[in-house]
Structure 1
Amino acid sequence: MPISQIAIGSPAEFGQADTLKAALAEFISVLIFVFAGEGSGMAFNKLTDDGSTTPAGLVAAALAHAFALFVAVSIGANISGGHVNPAVTFGAFLGGHITLIRGILYWIAQLLGSVVACLLLKFSTGGLTTSAFSLSSDVTVWNAVVFEIVMTFGLVYTVYATAVDPKKGNIGIIAPIAIGFIVGANILVGGAFDGASMNPAVSFGPAVVSWSWDNHWVYWVGPLIGSGIAALIYELIFISPNTHEPLPATDF
């Protein structure tokens, strides 16, 4: 059972070279991902006079995030596992695939990567706003929480099926593509309602730089619940205790 595989880890991990390298890889991957994803919305707003909320803007955001996440996961996969998302790290922790200590370092690196990406965007665009995630006028916070739970469930379930499962075989090769695709598809579904975050780090950077925290908790609670459900279901039902073995960071 997953709960028996949860590992706290040793405080010594905070100073281990491979752990610090993995955290740095997460920082760089998230920076690249957020710079491209958030930047695409800013560029579309500039070109179309705040047109990022139009159907064309939604499609552009979905494509930018899908492409950027494919790259971000790929470049981090051999070093940190390419989580690029605190919710993915949380799901990996619940399944016993990463220690709590290493997960904390990942979270710090991921959040810093998002903040730095947004600061770079603000500076390089001459002070344009890095818009924080927000809810549509006809969407309540609980509607948004459900959206984030379901979308992040789909994302983390995809991660488990293509990257974590020991039986994944050759399908692991397409894991970054599948992960990018599910995020892009979810943005097409939820983008018009709550921005379709699925990633607390993606929401955190713009909130810090714009200092806008309205309903920010939604983008933590929803993704973490969705991630936890996906991890537990996949571990309990599809990864048997007999075949489970924690994956090294080079595999996930």
Structure 2
Amino acid sequence: MPPRSKARYTSLLRDDGFTNLSMIKVRRLLGIGLAEMFGVALFLATGCGNLVSTISNSEPSHINTVLSFALGISSAIIIFAPISGCMLNPCLNVTWLVMGHMSLVKFVYYTVFQVIGAYLGVAFIAAVTPDIPEGPPGFCTTHPNPDVTTSQAFAVEFFLGFFLSLCLCHVLDKRASQQHGLVFAKFAVLVVALALPLGKYEGGSANPARSLGPALLSGDWNDQWLYWTAPNFGAAFAAVIYRAFFDAPIFEDVDSDGKTREVDATI
């Protein structure tokens, strides 16, 4: 049996389609950006729409809000995953970056379109809803619960980013390739499982774009640093753990002289 080669790390400075641009490349890159933008807009519109309380027959509850955001994410994945991968979340961009599936340039590109999409999604709901309350706190913005300390809120956001990142690592794992059609369901289940118990601690963001979009609309910048640091750190840590310990099984190969040695499987 020939020895298996170790998995190689992909450079963060690779081309990723941003050099020697042609009309085909520009069309493809623009399509990726628009897919991320519309996907996040759908996600924010469905979730923030459930938070509206100024029109008749609207009584937002925690479980309804969680389900609205989760189903919005799933719907966006169903529509846009074949186009851009449908990250929807700068935390998951961090995961792609650490796992070697995305360059630094593409990371910035995805993040910019995701933030624009978040703004458009909440702006749409604000435009069609009468009497949106003025902030702070702004409409659909995320803030820690007053009964929770900053360090506790940071820990919860780190925790959420960590497990969202592990979910993406699982999706990227070739050993799960036969389950790719279930990606939307996997993320829906995980979002519901995490947000139902933990959303009440710090708003259940785990998505810097989701927090920044409403802040751009309302001008409420309180706690933004929390939602851009904690989940990204959690996502990066999870991706490092996955690369180091979970990414590929360890096999024991036998050399021609009968000696055994452990090698990583190629991914």
Work out whether the TM-score is over 0.5: yes
- Does 1:114 pair with 2:118? yes
Task: Provide Cα deviations, 1:196-232, integer angstroms capped at 9, x if missing partner.
Answer: 1011111011111111111111111111011101111
- Does 1:208 pair with 2:216? yes
Please report the RMSD computed on the Cα atoms of aligned residues, expressed in angstroms: 2.2
Correspondence for 1:7: 12
- Does 1:19 pair with 2:29? yes
Higher mean C-alpha deviation, range 100-109 or range 2-11 = 2-11
Give the one of 123, 130, 135 matched to 1:126: 130
Distance 1:138 1:226 in 2: 23
Distance 1:183 1:47 in 2: 28
- Does 1:90 pair with 2:98? no
Q: Which has the larger radius of gyration?
A: 2
State the shift of 1:83 in Å. Answer: 0.4
- Pick closer, same or farther for the CA change 1:181–1:47 going to 2, 3 Å: farther
Corresponding residue pairs, total: 237
Give the one of 167, 174, 178 matched to 1:166: 174
Identity percentage of aligned residues: 25
Distance 2:55 2:150 in 1: 29
State the shift of 1:10 in Å. Answer: 3.4
- Does 1:243 pair with 2:258? no
State the shift of 1:46 in Å. Answer: 4.3
Kept in 2, the 8 Å contact 1:166–1:243? The answer is no
State the shift of 1:4 in Å. Answer: 4.0
* Amino acid across the alignment from 2:117: G
Query: Structure 2 unaligned runs (5+)?
Result: 1-5, 134-138, 249-263
Matches within 5 A, 1:14-53: 16-17=25-26, 18-42=28-52, 44=53, 46-47=55-56, 52=60
State the shift of 1:127 in Å. Answer: 4.6
**TM-score for the superposition, normalised by structure 2:** 0.82
Higher mean C-alpha deviation, range 189-198 or range 16-25 = 16-25
State the shift of 1:110 in Å. Answer: 0.1
SS at match of 1:168: helix
- Pick closer, same or farther for the CA change 1:100–1:2 going to 2, 3 Å: farther
SS at match of 2:194: helix
- Does 1:145 pair with 2:150? no
SS at match of 2:84: coil
Correspondence for 2:257: none
Distance 1:115 1:125 in 2: 15
SS at match of 1:115: helix
State the shift of 1:5 in Å. Answer: 2.7
Correspondence for 2:80: 76
Task: Provide Cα deviations, 1:54-82, integer angstroms capped at 9, x if missing partner.
Answer: xxx11001111111111112222111111
**Larger helix proportion of the pair:** 1
Query: Structure 1 unaligned runs (5+)?
Result: 245-252
Distance 1:45 1:159 in 2: 36
Kept in 2, the 8 Å contact 1:136–1:194? The answer is yes
Task: Provide Cα deviations, 1:151-206, integer angstroms capped at 9, x if missing partner.
Answer: 11111111211x20011132222111111211122111221111110111110111
State the shift of 1:26 in Å. Answer: 0.3
Kept in 1, the 8 Å contact 2:167–2:187? The answer is yes
State the shift of 1:2 in Å. Answer: 9.1
**TM-score for the superposition, normalised by structure 1:** 0.87
